[in-house]
Amino acid sequence: MKESALAIQTTLQSLGFENQVVELPDSTRTAQEAADAIGCTVAQIAKSIIFRMKNTNAPLLVVASGSNRINEKLIAKVVEDKLGKADADFVREHTGFVIGGVAPIGHTSEIVTLIDEDLFQHDTIWAAAGHPKAVFQLTADELVQLTDGKIVAVK
């Protein structure tokens, strides 16, 4: 298992969760690629998107259903800050992961997390596990427990 995927597995276990990280032969870099590789719907993919909050220069993680486009203006109102794009260096610095493999947990720094309310429409969802070919299955409730995230509408 890749070192970054193993780190997510270790984090899950240390938090008392039995979810298993799976490495797939195909890329899961995009929500569609992940859904195709896993054999689930795009809506079941919990995509992790990092933004840079402009006033504080802090990261913001939005975990959204793979079928949803994030309304940045709506999210900016929720966090009371303007959102900017997070480049690859910013993402890696604050999460420890490359874009396309950002897990919702196991970051190198504390990150405010918002969770898409639409993920609760599914019995199971899939999230990246620290590498573009690694994922783990969980429920939306487990996602909230793992991240201490706030449930919001993202679209």
The CATH number that applies at residue 85 is 3.90.960.10
Contact 136, 127 (CB under 8 A): yes
**Token pair of 20, please?**
């298993």
Strand, coil or helix: 47: strand
> What are 116's strand-pairing partners?
152
- Give the domain extent around 119: 3-152
Residue 48 identity (one-letter amino acid): S
**pLDDT band, very low/low/confident/very high, at 130 (cuts 50, 70, 90):** very high
Among candidates 137, 136, 102, 134, which has minimal Cα distance to 5?
134
| 114-128 residue pLDDT tens | 999 999 999 999 999
The token pair at 49 is 């998107």
Are 96 and 106 within 8 A, CB to CB?
yes
Which is it for strands 150-152 and 112-116: parallel, antiparallel or unpaired?
parallel
Q: How many domains does the chain have?
A: 1
Residue for token digits 């596990």? 129
pLDDT tens, residue by residue, 67-111: 999 999 999 999 999 999 999 999 999 999 998 899 999 999 999
Nearest of 132, 131, 130, 127 to residue 149 by alpha carbon: 127
pLDDT at 100: 85
Both tokens of 120, joined, read: 């609760």
Q: Phi and psi for 46 in degrees, rounded to 5?
A: -95, 90
What residues have CB less than 8 Å from 3, skipping those under 6 apart?
none
| Separation between Cα atoms, residue 10 and residue 115, nearest integer Å | 22
